[in-house]
Amino acid sequence: MHHAIINLNHPAHYIGLGPFSISLGNLLIILAMCIVFLAALFIPFPHSDKEGEDQK
Amino acid sequence: MSPKLMVDPSKKWSGPTRPYDLVKEIVVAFVAVALLAGGLAFLFSSPDDPAVTLKSWALTNSADFAVTATGELAGTTTSAGYGAPYNTAAKGQHFGFIKLQDWAGVRIPIDPANDFVVKPLLMMNDSAASSAVAEWSSANADQQSTWATAYADALSKAEGKDSVADPSGTFGPVPQMVASLLTMAKSGALDGALITSDTPLPTDFTKSLLFLGDSEGYFADLASKQHLSGDQWGVMNETGSWPGQSWLWLFSFWYQIDPFKSSDNADTIVMLLMGVLTLGLMLLPFIPLLRRIPYAIPVHRLIWRDWYRKQDK
C-alpha cells in the first residue's frame, strides 16, 4: 500500500466561530477557491505581440 | 448602458478580432489539471479509513448490535418504517402534492426482520438457530411482535448487555435468534450473507448499510466522531483530515436552520428549494430586477477591462 508523503488519515482539526464549525481542510480549499477566483479577475490575459493584437 | 456598447446579434460583427487557438488552450488546461491532480495524489494519496462492517460493529459494540437486531424483529427500526423504495410501512417524504418517495414506489423490497435476521440465520449450520427460526416462523405476527418488543424493552433496561436471561419464556425464540446472529456477525459471515443475498458477486451493500444505519449507538457514534452526522454539516465533510465536498455548503446550510432542520420532509423540501434556486440561476437573464445585477456589480467589466477601456476612450 502506498503511504502518502503528507498523511491526512488522522482526526481533523476543526475551527469554530459561533455556531459555525469548519474543518481546516475545507477552510483551506474554500480559501484556495477564493484566491483562484480573484486571480482570474485580476491577472491580465496573456498577450503576445502577434496573438494579442486586435485586428481590424 | 451606453449606446455604443449595444450589439445587434443579427448583424455581422464589425469590431476588432483576434486569433484564438482553442486546441492549444484545451491541451494546456488538460496538462495543467493532470499535473495538479497527479501531484496532489502523490503528496496526499486518498482517504484510507478502515471499512465499517457488521463484524466490526458486533465486535466493538455487541449490546448495540443486539438492540438493533431485536428492533429489526420488532419492526421498530428506521429501515422497517422507512417506506419506499424498501417497503410500504410509511408514505415517505412529501411537500404538498409532491410525493417523490411514494411515486417512485417499492423498487428494492426489503423486509428487515426476514432479510437481516431470519434468512441469514437459515444459512447457519446451527441447530439452535434453526429451531429458533422455526419457532419464530410458525408464530403469527402479533406473537412475533410481542416477543420482540418485550426483549427490546428488556435489553434497553439492561444497558450495555447483549443478552438478557428469560427464565419464564417471555421472549420466545428472540434471544436465541439474536445471540446466533451476533455470533454470525462476529465471525464476518453476516457481512458475506447480506452482500451476496441478491447478487452472485459481493457488490450490493444495500442491506448491510441499512442494517448498520439502524444502529443508534455504534454507527451514530462513528459518524459523530468524524463530524459526518447531519447536524454537523456532515454532507460537506470527509473522513480524517481530508477536505470534503465544500461546494455542497448550500445544500448542507438549509439542514442547519428551521424550518428545514425540524421537518420530517427536509430532504424533499431542500431538494425542491435547491431546484428553484438553480432554475433562478439558469434563467437569470429573463428575471426582471435580478438580471440588472451585472449593471450594479459589473464584474465582467473587470475581466474584460482592456476592451471596455478602449470602448470608453
Residue A55 inside a domain? The answer is no
Cβ contact B227:A23 at 8 Å: yes
Q: How many domains does chain A have?
A: 1
Within 10 angstroms of residue B294's Cβ, the number of other Cβ atoms is 13
Percent of chain B with pLDDT over 70: 98
pLDDT interval class at B7 (50, 70, 90): low
B306–A contact, CB cutoff 8 A: yes
Question: What sign for the dihedral angle of Cα B287, B293, B298, B299?
Answer: negative
Residue A35 inside a domain? The answer is yes
Residue A18 inside a domain? The answer is yes
Q: Tell me how far apart the alpha carbons of residues B236 and B247 are, in angstroms, rounded to a whole number.
A: 7
Say yes or no to pLDDT of A55 above 60.
no
Residue A29 inside a domain? The answer is yes
| Distance, first Cα to last Cα, chain A | 60
Say yes or no to pLDDT of B167 above 60.
yes
In this prediction, residue A52 carries a pLDDT of 46
pLDDT interval class at B142 (50, 70, 90): very high
For A40, half-sphere exposure in the C-beta direction (CA atoms, 13 angstrom radius) is 8
Say yes or no to pLDDT of B225 above 70.
yes
Say yes or no to pLDDT of B4 above 70.
no
Residues of B in contact with A1 (CB under 8 A): 48
Residue A19 inside a domain? The answer is yes
Quick: pLDDT tens for B31-86. Answer: 999 999 999 999 998 888 888 999 999 999 999 999 999 999 999 999 999 999 99
Q: What is the rounded average pLDDT of the residues A1-28? A: 83
- A23 and B241 within 8 Å at the Cβ level: the answer is yes
Lowest mean pLDDT among B2-16, B159-173, B244-258: B2-16
Of A8, A11, A40, the CB nearest to B44: A8
In this prediction, residue B166 carries a pLDDT of 84
Shortest distance, CA A35 to any CA of chain B (angstroms):
15
Lowest mean pLDDT among B63-67, B133-137, B143-147, B296-300: B296-300
CA distances from B35 to A31, B242, B298 (A): 21, 20, 34
Residue B145 is which amino acid? S
Residue A33 inside a domain? The answer is yes
- A12 and B241 within 8 Å at the Cβ level: the answer is yes
Mutation site, B17, B226, B232, B242, interface A, largest A CB count within 10 A: B242
Q: What is the rounded average pLDDT of the residues B277-302? A: 92
B47–A contact, CB cutoff 8 A: yes
pLDDT interval class at B303 (50, 70, 90): confident
Q: What is the rounded average pLDDT of the residues B122-130? A: 91
- B243 and A22 within 8 Å at the Cβ level: the answer is no
Q: What is the rounded average pLDDT of the residues B206-230? A: 91
Mutation site, A8, A14, A20, A50, interface B, largest B CB count within 10 A: A8
Within 10 angstroms of residue B247's Cβ, the number of other Cβ atoms is 11
pLDDT interval class at A51 (50, 70, 90): very low
CA-CA-CA-CA dihedral for B98, B103, B104, B106, to nearest 10:
130
pLDDT interval class at B218 (50, 70, 90): very high
Q: pLDDT higher for B70 or A42? A: B70
ipTM reported for the complex surpasses 0.85: no
The boundaries of the domain holding residue A38 are 13-42
In this prediction, residue B235 carries a pLDDT of 79
Does an H or E element contain B28, and which?
helix B22-44
Percent of chain B with pLDDT over 90: 61
Q: What is the mean pLDDT of chain B?
A: 90
In terms of pTM, does the model score above 0.95?
Answer: no
Q: Tell me how far apart the alpha carbons of residues B102 and B88 are, in angstroms, rounded to a whole number.
A: 9
Q: What is the rounded average pLDDT of the residues B287-299? A: 91
Q: What is the rounded average pLDDT of the residues B10-26? A: 83
Residues of A in contact with B12 (CB under 8 A): none
Cβ contact B121:B165 at 8 Å: no
- A9 and B42 within 8 Å at the Cβ level: the answer is no
